[in-house]
């Protein structure tokens, strides 16, 4: 870490209390915002002439202190997935697919201070089961069918053209890691020859196909690794607590399979062999539990993942597998209804993970369930920003309470239907023939929603390798935050959420003497990571109803 950070010792201790500093906020414009610097992120000139912005709303004062000596997890990435539409959009929407890629992966900031994207540092790539090749015979919802790279015994690396487009753009724009994940084994390996299961609580995989399926996943990882992609992990199963059969209509909603923990362990061992044989720097991650409750509780047959996979006395133990990373993966669904409730569940995860020396990844979330009680129990009156700001509560508690080193949104792009608003995507993609069309081959429109920008308050600034450090403040469900320091010690990032819709917040902190620049990036119902630069002698303020990132450059 940079020695400048090490030497700060404000208040007579290792804590340093940081901000743009003076008694009153004043000024109105940023004359020289950060320039555009591509995938390496923004730069600044410490000699810029700065007039601090003015708060045009009532302010309350909050004391906030950062303590570098209080260290927590190293952050490993923020992500979203390429299910389900990106394969079609990436292949057919040639007029605006680059706009989507820029929004997801760009770290550039325009001359007027507007970030061009949210700089995702991880991209989750679906390894499809081959239901797209089956067509209508797949008995699966058309837009959730997925292609594979292996058909009739031959690999076709020209398959999944749309997915490959977004992978390439992600790599070119500086995305550091790619995770391959599977919802179902390939249809040629399943017991029923389908991408959905009718095998109930057990895996839809032929007994003699465990090795073949593991080899397939390893071959895909090798192909993309050889092409210059950092395939950091393979996740071989998804939400094994669900059976993933057909609905009452007789059609499956998506690819999927239930699994027993013993079956997952068997597959992990085969995948370990396949990766070792190919000498890949790719590791296995498990078990994509359907909720945090399945990580620490439930029966040992399908749930209680930490105990099942990492307790040496368990018959599903795989903790000694060479290529299995010491990670436990869970989804944040169903456990976010209230502030206190989500914190209690996540504390249980943190305690159980620490006991087994495991990192925690949150690998999938969108606002799937009933409206949280703190959104008045319904979505009718919730705005898009209300939904996005609530997501900040989930991200905050996953990181600061569960201790997540990585956080992933579910679908990067999707269609808003049935009054769902922005609950299920970062980017709204509407086909040319309207939101109820299933034809994505003729192009359509693209619109980033507030979910994208709120996630960007974290993903664009908290980069892989940043260390979370102590942040002292009067935390509540209406005002909370977290702090991170860069690997080289040249940046400190503080992310704060203010739920008060009337009052902004004047941050009562003090600048370390070597601070060269202080910027804020604010997301509200009207702002999209709007940048402001503060004079070092002025206090930083936080907008009402906002998520704000403060970046200190040293």
88-136 tens-digit pLDDT? 999 999 999 999 999 999 999 999 899 999 999 999 999 999 999 999 9
Give Rg (Cα) of the chain: 23
- The full set of domains in the chain, from first to last, is 3-72+469-553 (2.60.40.1180), 76-459 (3.20.20.80)
**Residue 476 confidence (pLDDT):** 98
Q: Omega before 84 cis (within 30°)?
A: yes
Phi, psi of 201, rounded to the nearest 5 degrees: -80, 0
Q: How far apart are CA 494 and CA 549, in angstroms?
A: 6
pLDDT at 13: 36
SS3 state of residue 445: strand
pLDDT tens-digit readout, 139-193? 999 999 999 999 999 999 999 999 999 999 999 999 999 999 999 999 999 999 9
Question: In the prediction, which pLDDT does 65 show?
Answer: 94
Note the pLDDT of residue 6. Answer: 38
Q: How far is CA 509 from the centre of its chain?
A: 30
Rounded CA-CA distance 470/461 in Å is 17
User: Distance between CA 199 and CA 260 in Å, rounded?
Assistant: 11
Spell out the residues 6+ positions from residue 191 whose beta carbon is closer than 8 angstroms to its own. Answer: 197, 199, 204, 205, 206
pLDDT in single tens digits along all 554 residues of the chain: 444 343 333 333 334 444 444 433 333 333 333 333 444 455 666 666 688 999 999 999 999 999 989 999 999 999 999 999 999 999 999 999 999 999 999 999 999 899 999 999 999 999 999 999 999 999 999 999 999 999 999 999 999 999 999 999 999 999 999 999 999 999 999 999 999 999 999 999 999 999 999 999 999 999 999 999 999 999 999 999 999 999 998 999 999 999 999 999 999 999 999 999 999 999 999 999 999 999 999 999 999 999 999 999 999 999 999 999 999 999 999 999 999 999 999 999 999 999 999 999 999 999 999 999 989 889 999 999 999 999 999 999 999 999 999 999 999 999 999 999 999 999 999 999 999 999 999 999 999 999 999 999 999 999 999 999 999 999 999 999 999 999 999 999 999 999 999 999 999 987 767 889 999 999 999 999 999 999 998 999 999 999 999 999 99
141 token code pair: 């919802």
| Coarse DSSP helix, strand, coil percentages of the chain, rounded to the nearest 5 percent | 25, 25, 50
In whole angstroms, how far apart are CA 524 and each of 47, 135, 304, 385, 507? 29, 43, 39, 7, 18
CA atoms within a 13 Å half-sphere pointing along the CA-CB vector of 474: 9
Spatial contact of 319 and 312, defined as CB atoms under 8 Å apart: yes
Q: Which residue in 41, 159, 7 sits closest to 459, CA to CA?
A: 41
DSSP 189: G
């Amino acid at each position: 870490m940079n020695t400048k950070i090490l030497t700060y010792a404000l208040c007579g201790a290792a804590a340093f209390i940081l901000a743009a500093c003076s008694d009153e906020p004043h000024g109105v414009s940023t004359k020289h915002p950060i320039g555009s610097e591509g995938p390496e992120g923004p730069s600044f000139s410490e000699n810029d002439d700065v007039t601090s912005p003015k708060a045009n709303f009532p302010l309350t004062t909050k004391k906030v202190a950062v303590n570098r000596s209080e260290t927590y997890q190293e952050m490993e990435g923020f992500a979203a997935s390429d299910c389900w539409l990106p394969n079609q959009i990436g292949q057919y929407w040639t007029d605006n697919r680059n706009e989507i890629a820029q929004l997801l992966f760009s770290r550039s900031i325009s001359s007027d201070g507007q970030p061009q994207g949210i700089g995702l540092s991880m991209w989750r790539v679906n390894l499809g089961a081959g239901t797209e090749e089956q067509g209508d015979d797949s008995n699966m919802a058309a837009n959730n069918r997925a292609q594979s790279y292996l058909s009739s015994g031959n690999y076709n690396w020209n398959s999944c053209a749309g997915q490959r487009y977004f992978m390439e753009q992600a790599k070119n724009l500086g995305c550091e890691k790619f995770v391959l994940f599977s919802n179902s084994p390939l249809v040629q390996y399943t017991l029923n020859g389908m991408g959905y299961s009718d095998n109930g609580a057990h895996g839809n995989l032929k007994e003699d196909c465990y090795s073949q399926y593991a080899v397939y996943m390893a071959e895909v990882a090798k192909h993309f690794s050889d092409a210059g992609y950092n395939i950091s992990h393979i996740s071989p199963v998804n939400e094994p607590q669900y059976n993933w059969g057909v609905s009452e209509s007789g059609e499956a909603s998506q690819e999927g399979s239930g699994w027993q923990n013993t079956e997952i362990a068997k597959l992990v061992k085969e995948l370990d062999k396949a990766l070792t044989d190919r000498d890949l720097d790719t590791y296995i991650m498990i078990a994509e539990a359907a909720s945090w409750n399945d990580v620490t509780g439930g029966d040992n047959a399908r749930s209680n993942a930490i105990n099942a996979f990492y307790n040496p006395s368990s018959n599903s133990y795989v903790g000694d597998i060479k290529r299995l990373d010491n990670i436990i993966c869970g989804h944040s669904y169903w456990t976010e209804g209230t502030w206190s409730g989500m914190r209690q569940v996540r504390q249980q995860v943190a305690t159980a993970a620490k006991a087994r020396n495991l990192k925690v990844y949150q690998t999938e979330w969108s606002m799937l369930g009933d409206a949280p009680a703190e959104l008045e129990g319904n979505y009718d009156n919730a705005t898009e920003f209300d939904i996005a700001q609530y997501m900040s509560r989930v991200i905050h508690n996953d990181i600061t309470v569960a201790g997540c080193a990585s956080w992933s949104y579910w679908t990067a792009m999707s269609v808003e239907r049935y009054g769902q608003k922005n609950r299920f995507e970062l980017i709204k993609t509407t086909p040319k023939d309207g939101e109820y069309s299933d034809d994505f081959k003729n192009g359509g429109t693209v619109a980033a929603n507030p979910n994208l920008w709120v996630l960007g308050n974290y993903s664009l600034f908290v980069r892989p390798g940043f260390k979370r450090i102590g942040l002292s403040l009067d935390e509540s469900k209406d005002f909370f935050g977290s702090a991170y320091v860069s690997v080289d010690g040249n940046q400190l990032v503080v992310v704060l959420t203010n739920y008060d819709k009337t009052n902004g917040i004047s941050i009562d902190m003090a600048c370390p003497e070597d601070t060269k620049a202080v910027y804020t990036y604010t997301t509200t119902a009207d702002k999209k990571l709007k940048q402001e630069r503060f004079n070092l002698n002025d206090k930083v303020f936080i907008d009402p109803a906002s998520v704000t990132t403060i970046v200190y450059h040293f």
